[in-house]
């Protein structure tokens, strides 16, 4: 399933006007961008893992990490740094998608205008 962003924005504009479309567009584009970032970093991580497996050959990972060969050990830690960076970037992008989707829905349904009409839930003594 794919998300037709253009159609979504057309629907927002048809219901709420051009200015609301522009507001919704920013959130929707950010959501789409974060999904692409997550995809990119995930596949970079997979590529790093595949390349390191080939480089490692028949050696055990524990020997690379804790063995006596300093060059092999240094290559292991460099790999872990690259793999960790891509893993964290992918997960952070995935984590951001929920917040961005919430903002997209908020803007797409013009809920900011509705919130202005709702009575305050705070008491006068607050």
Tens digits of residue pLDDT in 61-87: 999 999 999 999 999 999 999 999 999
Higher pLDDT among residues 116 and 45, named by residue: 45
Using DSSP's 3-state secondary structure scheme, residue 1 falls into coil
Average pLDDT in the 17-32 region?
Answer: 94
Q: Are 38 and 87 in contact (CB under 8 A)?
A: no
As a whole number of angstroms, the distance between CA 2 and CA 32 comes to 11
State residue 2's pLDDT score: 87
State residue 118's pLDDT score: 55
Tens digits of residue pLDDT in 81-101: 999 999 999 999 999 999 999
Average pLDDT in the 16-34 region?
Answer: 94
* Cα separation values, 32 from 18, 36, 39, 46, Å: 20, 6, 11, 21
Q: Is the pLDDT of residue 114 over 80?
A: no
State residue 112's pLDDT score: 80
């Amino acid at each position: 399933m794919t998300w037709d962003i253009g159609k979504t924005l057309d629907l927002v504009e048809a219901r709420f006007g051009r200015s609301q479309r522009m507001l919704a567009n920013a959130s929707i584009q950010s959501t789409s961008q974060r999904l692409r970032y997550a995809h990119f970093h995930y596949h970079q991580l997979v590529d790093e893992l595949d390349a390191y497996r080939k480089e490692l050959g028949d050696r055990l990972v524990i020997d690379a990490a804790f063995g006596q060969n300093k060059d092999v050990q240094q290559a292991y830690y460099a790999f872990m740094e690259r793999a960790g960076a891509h893993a964290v970037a992918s997960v952070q992008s995935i984590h951001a998608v929920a917040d961005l989707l919430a903002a997209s829905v908020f803007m797409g349904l013009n809920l900011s205008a509705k919130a202005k009409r709702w009575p305050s839930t705070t008491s006068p003594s607050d």
